[in-house]
């Protein structure tokens, strides 16, 4: 009997699994869209939880500065190291500053900052809200006539959308400085580096990098909050929500990064 | 300040004396049937105890009463309002009139004891700081937790958390309080304190209560009316005397096993 049912299941299992996965994905997407729509309604009605938002800006922004400074500096340094070596072979030292500056402003600073924040901040949101979900604290918010989207999600979305571009500015500065240091150590003169930066790097590049950072902040916070709100099943569920939040956020950041580049550049 | 702060509980109005009317509630979670045609009326000023084995649908029933879960079929009227059909705003206005004591207390971990108790006051009452502090002190001494204002929930024992949870549920003077296993996991002395508190609130403030429990001791100590639940259905309902005299085989079995357990321990 068991064997029979297993065979029947075997023939249907692939289709069923595929269909199940698609349905699951669509329903997740739908629920996430509903959460974002509810958050947007609160923002448009001007109902911001100021105190919570300030707490989150502090947590997302200020506490992330050291790690962003380190990743920003090293990504600038490695870019300068590679470009200086490659371009020197072709006598293209004059392009090093511009290449490093452009790469940092357009890609390295926003993307690496976002990935660092996804690991730090997105995971923290999923863990915190997930713990609240599995210990009835979200239900408690609801019965105290407080919408969890308004009280928990909106402050995190706003804080991340504000903090990520500011962190990206820091990454731009230290990345540029790191690149300058490595390039000059590799024999390119400081003046050549700076004039190359001035020639190739336009304010538009920096602004687009910051606009991308706003999107990345929204991705990190919405994935972290969504995963947290829908965590079930105790500590194990919170763990799954947390790792899921980081993985999904990083994938979405890289995918969106490509499409935002198509739009802006 | 906030939209919510102006919501004042409108005086409960039902033609008869029922604060809660649940009729023919059905609810399934996937293949699991949690409620299978459950009906019950709770009268004003009475303590209605609902007993039953774990997993019989008691907690799910409580969630229906505050609109955390919507029934697949059937309806719930609380203060004459159809909980399952209210808009978010109407539901919030209703929830302000209902205090909920969660099984796990569901205190907000990121807030101190005082901030937890003050939470509903801050959000729904436009009171000066000193008035809120005074009310918090009053509520904490009511549950014998005076002096714990600045502690974090993590520093409290299970019984202390539960009592703070009760203080928070009482903050807005709700005319109806729902208790989910208020004495589970408490030592007999603390359980007795909680039972006495439930009785006092009825005697002094005329609060209506629904107490979900599997502690027979507690049930018979506080109940004006008792309902016994099994597999999502109401098996028996009546005064404690009527339940004790019940000939229903499930009720007998439930009462007998518990009596033996109590004697054995």
Q: Which position has the higher pLDDT, A10 or A91? A: A91
Q: Give yes or no for residue B264 having a pLDDT over 60.
A: no
B20 shares contact with chain A (CB less than 8 Å): no
Tokens coding A84: 């200086």
Estimate to the nearest angstrom the gap between the alpha carbon of B70 and the chain centroid: 18
Q: Is A6 on the interface with B (CB under 8 A)?
A: no
B 131-160 residues inside an 8 A Cβ radius of A:
none
The nearest CA of chain A is from the CA of B107 a distance in Å of 7
Question: ∠ at Cα A62 (A58, A65), nearest 5°?
Answer: 155
CB contact under 8 A, A142 and B107: no
* pLDDT for the residue numbered A12: 74
Contact between A234 and A134 (Cβ < 8 Å):
yes
Cβ of residue B95 closer than 8 Å to a chain A Cβ: yes
Burial class (CB in 10 A: 0-12, 13-18, 19+), B213: buried
Whether residue A145 and residue B104 make contact (CB cut-off 8 A), yes or no, is no
Pick the more confident residue, B215 or A258. Answer: A258
- How much of chain A, in percent, has pLDDT values that exceed 70? 96
pLDDT at position A9 is 59
- Per the model's pLDDT, the better-predicted residue between B2 and A189 turns out to be A189
- Enumerate residues 186 to 245 of chain B having a beta carbon within 8 A of any beta carbon in chain A: none
Which of A132, A136, A145 lies at the smallest CB-CB distance from B102? A136
- Cα B259 from chain centroid (whole Å): 25
Sequence-separated (6 or more) residues with CB below 8 Å from residue A215: A256, A260
How far apart (Å, rounded) are the C-alpha atoms in residues A253 and A260? 10
Nearest to A28 by CA among A230, A250, A234, A233: A230
Task: Give the confidence band of B13 by pLDDT, cuts at 50, 70, 90.
Answer: very low
Q: At residue A71, does pLDDT exceed 50?
A: yes
Burial category of A258 from C-beta neighbours within 10 Å (exposed 0-12, middle 13-18, buried 19 and up): exposed
A52 touches chain B (CB under 8 A): no
Return the CATH fold of B8-97+174-264.
Rossmann fold (3.40.50)
Spell out the domain ranges in chain A: 65-264
DSSP state of B38: E
Instruction: Report how far residue B229's alpha carbon sits from residue B154's, in angstroms, rounded to the nearest whole number.
Output: 34
Instruction: Tell me which DSSP letter residue A36 carries.
Output: H
- A145/B88 CB distance under 8 A: no
Cβ <8 Å between B68 and A131: no
Q: Which pairing describes strands B225-230 and B208-213: parallel, antiparallel, or unpaired?
A: unpaired
Chain B environment of A128 (Cβ under 8 Å): 110
Contact B83, B228 (CB under 8 A): no
Check pLDDT > 80 for residue B60: yes
User: How many angstroms separate the CA atoms of B174 and B205, rounded?
Assistant: 10
Question: What is the share, in percent, of chain A residues with pLDDT greater than 90?
Answer: 81
Answer whether A118's CB lies under 8 Å from A67's CB.
no
CB A226 within 8 A of CB A31: yes
Confidence of residue B16 (pLDDT cuts 50, 70, 90): low
Counting one residue from A and one from B, how many pairs have CB atoms under 8 Å apart?
A: 53
Which chain A residues are closer than 8 Å to B184 by Cβ? none
d(CA A110, CA A72): 9
Contact across the interface for A136 and B96, Cβ inside 8 Å: no
Round to whole Å and give the CA distance between B201 and B45.
Answer: 10
Q: Does B102 touch chain A (CB under 8 A)?
A: yes
Segment B106-125, tens digit of pLDDT:
999 999 999 999 999 999 99
Q: What are the backbone angles phi and psi of residue B106, rounded to the nearest 5°? A: 55, 40
**Which residues partner with A149 through β-bridges?**
none
In this prediction the ipTM stands at 0.87
Give the distance from residue A128's alpha carbon to the nearest chain B alpha carbon, in angstroms: 9
State pLDDT tens for residues B229-263. Answer: 988 889 999 999 999 888 899 899 888 865 555 44
What does the pLDDT look like over A12-23, one tens digit per residue?
Answer: 788 989 998 999
Quick check: A145 and B103 CB within 8 A? no
Give the residue among B137, B67, B108, B71 at the shortest CA–CA distance from A135. B108
pLDDT, position B188: 87
Say if B88 is an interface residue toward chain A (CB within 8 Å): yes
Please report which confidence band the pLDDT of residue B9 belongs to, taking 50, 70 and 90 as the band edges.
very low
B161-184: b or e for each residue (b if 16 or more CB lie within 10 Å)? bbbbbbbbbbbbebbbbbbbbbbb
Strand ranges inside A108-161, DSSP E: none
Contact B229, B38 (CB under 8 A): yes
Residues in contact with B235: Cβ distance below 8 Å, sequence separation at least 6, in sequence order: B52, B228, B229, B248, B250, B251
Q: Test A137 with B107 for CB contact under 8 angstroms.
A: yes
Contact check, Cβ <8 Å, B103/A136: yes
In this structure, the number of other CB atoms found within 10 A of the CB of residue B133 comes to: 15
How far, in Å, are B29, B121, B166, B224 from residue B116 at the CA level? Answer: 32, 10, 11, 31
Residue B229 three-state SS: strand
Query: Would you call B95 and A131 a contact, using CB atoms and an 8 Å cutoff?
Result: no
Residue A151 tokens read as 């009280």
State yes or no: pLDDT of A171 exceeds 90: yes
Return d(Cα A6, Cα A9) in angstroms, integer: 5
Strands across the sheet containing B18-29: B32-43, B18-29, B73-78, B81-82
Number of CB atoms found within 10 A of residue B252's CB:
12
CA distance B41 to chain A (A): 21
Q: What is the pLDDT of residues A194-245, one digit of tens each?
A: 999 999 999 999 999 999 999 999 999 999 999 999 999 889 999 999 999 9
Where exactly are the structural domains of chain B?
A: 8-97+174-264, 107-173
């Amino acid at each position: 009997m068991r064997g029979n049912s297993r065979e029947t299941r075997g023939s249907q299992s692939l289709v069923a699994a595929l269909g199940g996965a698609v349905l699951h994905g669509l329903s997740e997407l739908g629920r996430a869209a509903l959460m974002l729509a509810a958050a947007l309604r609160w923002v448009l009605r001007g109902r911001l939880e100021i105190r919570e938002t300030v707490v989150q800006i502090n947590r997302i922004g200020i506490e992330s500065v050291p790690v962003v400074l380190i990743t920003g500096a090293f990504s600038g340094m490695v870019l300068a190291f590679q470009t200086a070596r490659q371009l020197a072979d072709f006598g293209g030292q004059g392009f090093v500053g511009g290449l490093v500056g452009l790469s940092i402003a357009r890609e390295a600073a926003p993307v690496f900052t976002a990935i660092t924040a996804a690991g730090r901040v997105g995971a923290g949101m999923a863990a915190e809200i997930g713990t609240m979900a599995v210990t009835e604290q979200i239900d408690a918010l609801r019965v105290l006539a407080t919408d969890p989207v308004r009280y928990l999600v909106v402050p995190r979305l706003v804080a991340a959308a504000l903090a990520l571009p500011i962190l990206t500015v820091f990454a731009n500065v230290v990345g540029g400085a790191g690149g300058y240091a490595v390039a000059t150590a590799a024999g390119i003169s400081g003046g050549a580096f700076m004039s190359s930066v001035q020639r190739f790097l336009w304010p538009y590049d920096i602004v687009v990098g910051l606009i991308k950072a706003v999107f990345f902040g929204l991705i990190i916070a919405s994935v972290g909050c969504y995963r947290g709100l829908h965590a079930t099943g105790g500590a194990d569920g919170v763990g799954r929500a947390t790792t899921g939040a980081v993985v999904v956020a990083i994938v979405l950041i890289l995918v969106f990064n490509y499409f935002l580049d198509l739009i802006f550049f | 300040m906030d939209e919510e702060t102006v919501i004042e509980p409108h005086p409960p109005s039902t033609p008869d004396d029922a604060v809660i009317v649940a009729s023919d509630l059905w609810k399934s979670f996937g293949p699991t049937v949690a409620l299978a045609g459950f009906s019950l009326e709770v009268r004003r000023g009475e303590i209605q105890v609902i007993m039953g084995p774990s997993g019989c649908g008691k907690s799910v029933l409580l969630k229906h009463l505050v609109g955390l879960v919507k029934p697949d079929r059937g309806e719930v009227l609380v203060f004459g309002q159809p909980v399952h059909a209210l808009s978010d705003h109407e539901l919030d206005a209703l929830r302000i009139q209902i205090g909920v004591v969660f099984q796990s207390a569901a205190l907000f971990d990121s807030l101190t004891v005082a901030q937890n108790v003050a939470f509903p006051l801050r959000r729904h009452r436009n009171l000066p700081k000193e008035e809120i502090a005074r009310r918090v002190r009053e509520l904490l001494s009511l549950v014998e937790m005076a002096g714990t204002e600045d502690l974090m929930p993590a520093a409290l024992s299970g019984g202390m958390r539960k009592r703070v949870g009760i203080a928070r549920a009482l903050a807005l003077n709700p005319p109806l309080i729902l208790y989910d296993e208020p004495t589970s996991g408490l030592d007999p002395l603390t359980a007795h304190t909680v039972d006495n508190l439930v009785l006092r609130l009825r005697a002094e403030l005329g609060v209506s209560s629904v107490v979900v429990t599997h502690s027979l001791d507690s049930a018979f100590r506080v109940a004006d009316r008792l309902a016994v639940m099994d597999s999502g259905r109401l098996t028996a309902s009546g005064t404690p005397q009527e339940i004790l005299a019940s000939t229903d085989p499930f009720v007998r079995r439930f009462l007998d096993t518990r009596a033996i357990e109590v004697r054995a321990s």
